[in-house]
Structure 1
Amino acid sequence: MRQRIRPSHLRTSAAFVAAAAIAAAVPAVAAPSAYAEEAAPALVISNLPSTSPKPGDVYDENVVITNNGTAAADGVTFRVRLTRGLDFTEEAKGCSYSTVQDQVRQAVCELDLTVAPGASVETPVRFKALDSALMEAVEYGTSATGETPGEGYDDSYRRMTLTADSSADLVAVGEDTEALAGGQQSITVQLRNDGPGWIQNQESDDQPALMVKIPKDTVASEVPKECAPFGIDGPSGPGGTPGKSTYVCWPDDHTIDVGEALSFTFMLDIDKDAKTTTGEVKATSVYDIHPEFDKNPANDKAPIRVAIPTDYEPGPATSGGSSDGGSTDGGATTGGDGNDPEGQSTGGTGTTGSTSAGTSTGGSSTGSVDGNLASTGSDGTPLIAGTAAAAAALGGGLILAVRRRRASAAKSS
């Protein structure tokens, strides 16, 4: 009997049918998904209404916390931070209070509540504006899971800026000194805040500053690193650059407290044929725009005066102890040999970027400030970021430095 052989395509079809039948008999098991997400809360908070309080006003609003996640948030840690012109009205139960860097006041509150998925709750935010309030910011919120928030901002932790209905009076303080033609002389000028508001501009590049016009017939040979050459409408070179006619000086943290004076010391080389000469300082901003918060422009400008005696060169001695060119006293010529008339230098050290210690001419005491214009963002700037320089400047009881010299020809024994 001959064996019949089936065509190959029929054998393949039969095998497929048999395999399908076996697969149908075995229950299907779903493979685990590599993208399966664990249930978790996702808290978001509402924005606080903006405000412009007067000193003494109390702000009292509620923040709505909503859970957009897939799991409940069991307990919420809610944090509020206030800049130094604001303060909390009272201490609430369940909150711990402290002062952190840059004099930021902080409250951390443990809210004993559960926020289910899709649910919302409210919590209050209360603070008052102090007498020094002006440029302020408030941080508030939690984290997406309800735990303690970190640094930076997102939908669960926000920042609100505000400008109080107040002002700050920037004052320019100049210098009046004496020098010898052909010699050197340090000058110290100041930018002072007479209040009532403190100043910290983090919302633009137009920070408060002091414009310095160097006196004619002198050259700025040593310049503080906080002072940059000023061009047509703004800084035009790195801080500390010598030999320019106009400079703009500002604190690196853009902060000036009430009563604080920032000092900037320059060393001037006096031309050999110089006569008494003047320059000028002006309270302004980094881009020479008058600050809107300064309502008293009368004290924005002050002179720099360098008196140059004209009779300091000694002449031939005459009988009786007089000289033709320089003033005399009992036969001793007191004319200009270029030395300090009082036997020691009373000027600054001339070190770039430093502030000399000396006698105050401008009111409150101050000290050296450090650094150049830092990039400041808008609402992304943490309240306590970059505060090492501010903490040093505010805690040190700063001292004004104004140096005065008298030429020996102008001094009588």
Structure 2
Amino acid sequence: MRQHLRTSSAVVAAAAIAAAVPAVVAPAAYAEEAAPALAISTLPNLAPKPGDVYDKSVTITNYGTAPSESVVFRVRLTRGLDFTEQAEGCTYSTVQDQVRQAVCELGTVVEPGASVTTPVRFKALPHALMEAVEYGTTPTGAAPDEGFTDAYKRLTLTSDSSADLVATGDKATVSPGDTVTVNATLRNDGPGWIQNNVSDDLPGLKVQIPPGTTAVEVPAECSPFNIDGPSGPSQPGRPEYVCWPKDATLDVDESHTYAFKLKVKDTAKDTKGEVKASSVYNITPKYDKNLANNTAYLSIDVTGDDKPGPGTSGGSSTGGGSGETSTGGSGSGNDPEGQSTGGSGSTGGTSTGGTTGSSTNGSTGDTTGGNLASTGSDGTPLLAGAAAAAAALGGLLVLAVRRRRAGAKTS
């Protein structure tokens, strides 16, 4: 009985202590706060011709639990596109890499479950080809930062146009044992500009070193070509190279000239090496269907030699002097469309003003023009394209190994 009384007394004491302590309340921070959650509809993917106007609308819907008090709507266009007019409430500017931008205050409150519709209008310029459009806001309606969400998207467009890759070679007269510099040039004759970060479609120039000579100095922009693509950093002594603009961009009339210093062997005969405009993987891009100017030669005439040397057979040429351009086209391959609906975007290149290659003996290049077809661009934010191009280029070795391994499995 005494034990029972002691237990009861303990229970009463505990109850008294509990009554003296305030009840613990869950912090307000743990409660779910109401917030807007905006999402935007998708623009249709069309292929406007140069001069066409793209005029569509998008709908912004609030799927959240609180109203969006204001909506800042942004549109960015790559350099082959432009706005048709300047709308009221919008601020227009040109930002990095020739990207045109409009930032608009829609001036409306979007309640939970409600929607607002806004137009997206732009035109395709004469040099339009591989284009991208970024459009939208943020989930709260504030001004967008970089990166994509349900409220901010990216559309890639391929204009119904073309770009013409052109190869230019060079010619030099030397004596056995001489060292000579010759130039190989890649140029875009338009009408469309080229911006492609998709690995298989990066515009490139494949250069064969003329047999009987050795490359003793090579441009840093040129990688040894092995089997089906670039295979390491620039280094002398290789039989073939592939060169490309490091930002994966070629504006209309932009050219890139690559100088190779060659040591002519004592036993060399007249010789030449092929220069071919295509992609870094030697695949003809779909946007280039005029193949008559895709191939040229580095021609080395060795004094005292009246017989054809190695590398001079296989195909006639129509040009004389430097950059003699062949009438035959380069082969085509299976290249991807290069389109995506999200990810990362376009970058600009600096034009060299359409220069042609010149050798140390003063000769100049000779090329012809052309046109047709189209392809797409990748998907990085428009102002982050340079970094994306560098990353894509840095991954070429891995891709080349992957492609070769895939080929080995199927052989």
Range into which the TM-score falls when normalised by the shorter chain: 0.7 to 0.9
Amino acid of the structure 2 residue aligned with 1:99: T
- Give the SS at the match of 2:197: coil
Report the secondary structure of 1:16's partner residue: helix
Q: Is the 8 A contact 2:169 2:275 kept in 1?
A: yes
Aligned to 1:32: 27
Is 1:50 the equivalent of 2:6?
A: no
Question: Is 2:353 the partner of 1:403?
Answer: no
| Contact 1:202 1:377 survives alignment (8 Å) | no
- 8 A Cα contact 1:174 1:281, kept in partner: yes
Q: 1:18 to 1:226 in 2, by over 3 A?
A: same
Aligned partner (choices 136, 150, 156) of residue 151 of structure 2: 156
Question: Structure 1 residue 114: deviation in Å?
Answer: 0.6
CA contact (8 A) 2:76 2:102 kept: yes
Matches within 5 A, 1:71-220: 71-220=66-215
Q: 1:188 to 1:121 in 2, by over 3 A?
A: same
1:279 paired residue among 273, 277, 284: 273
| Equivalent residue number for residue 66 of structure 1 | 61
Identity percentage of aligned residues:
60
**CA distance in 2 between partners of 1:244 and 1:29 (Å):** 77
Separation in structure 1 between the aligned mates of residue 148 and residue 22 of structure 2, nearest angstrom: 50
CA shift for structure 1 position 51: 1.3
CA distance in 1, matches of 2:4, 2:271: 111
Paired AA for residue 359 in structure 2: R
Q: Which residue of 1 aligns with 2:260?
A: 266
Deviation at residue 26 of structure 1 after TM alignment = 9.5
Pairwise CA distance, 1:57: 1.6
Deviation at 1:291, TM superposition (A): 0.6
Q: In the alignment, is residue 256 of structure 1 matched against residue 250 of structure 2?
A: yes
Give the distance between the partners of 1:214 and 1:42, measured in 2 at CA.
60
How high is the TM-score relative to the length of structure 2? 0.75
- Residues in 1 aligned to 2:355 and 2:289: alpha-carbon distance in whole angstroms: 27
Highest CA radius of gyration, 1 or 2?
1
Distance 1:188 1:284, change over 3 A: same
| Cα deviations by residue, 1:248-274 (Å, 9 ceiling, x for unpaired) | 111111100111111111100110121
* Paired residues of 1:179 and 1:405 also in contact (CA < 8 A): no
For residue 170 of structure 1, report the CA deviation from its aligned partner: 0.7
Deviations 1:151-171 (A, max 9, x none): 111212111111111111111
**1:381: which partner in 2?**
344
1:292 to 282, 286, 306: 286
Q: Distance in 2 between matches of 1:65 and 1:139?
A: 15
Change (3 A) 1:37 1:398: farther
Q: What residue in structure 1 maps to residue 406 of structure 2?
A: none
Q: TM-score, normalised by structure 1?
A: 0.74
Report how far residue 69 of structure 1 moved: 2.5
Does structure 1 residue 236 correspond to structure 2 residue 231? yes
Is the partner of 1:114 in helix, strand or coil?
coil
SS at match of 2:190: strand
List per-residue Cα deviations over 1:267-314 (Å, max 9, x = no partner): 001101212211110111111111111111111111211111118xxx
- Name stretches of at least 5 consecutive residues in structure 1 with no aligned partner: 1-5, 312-359, 363-375, 407-413
Deviation at 1:8, TM superposition (A): 2.8
Following TM superposition, by how much is the alpha carbon of 1:28 offset from its aligned partner in structure 2, in angstroms? 5.3
Secondary structure of the residue aligned to 1:298 is coil
Mapped to 2, the partners of 1:48 and 1:9 lie a distance apart of 79
Larger RCO (CA under 8 A, 6+ residues apart): 2
Shift of 1:402: 0.7
Mapped partners of 1:100, 1:142: distance in 2: 18
What one-letter code is carried by the residue in structure 2 that aligns with 1:251?
A: P
In the alignment, the residues of structure 1 paired with residue 201 and residue 345 of structure 2 have an alpha-carbon distance, to the nearest angstrom, of: 19
In the aligned structure 2, how far is the partner of 1:235 from the partner of 1:9? Answer: 90
Contact 1:52 1:162 in 2 (8 A): yes
1:139 to 1:98, Cα distance in 2 relative to 1, 3 A:
same
Cα distance in 1 for partners of 2:161, 2:277 equals 18
Alpha-carbon distance between aligned partners in 1 of 2:7 and 2:200, rounded to the nearest angstrom: 79
Aligned AA (1:123): T
User: The residue matched to 1:113 in structure 2 has which SS?
Assistant: coil
**Contiguous gaps of at least 5 residues in structure 2:** 306-321, 325-337, 363-411
Task: Quote the offset at 1:120 in angstroms.
Answer: 1.3
Q: How many residues align?
A: 333
Give me the whole-angstrom Cα distance separating, in 2, the residues matched to 1:13 and 1:34.
40
User: CA offset at residue 115 of structure 1?
Assistant: 1.0
Q: From the superposition, tell whether residues 27 and 265 of structure 1 become closer, same or farther in structure 2 (CA, over 3 Å).
A: closer
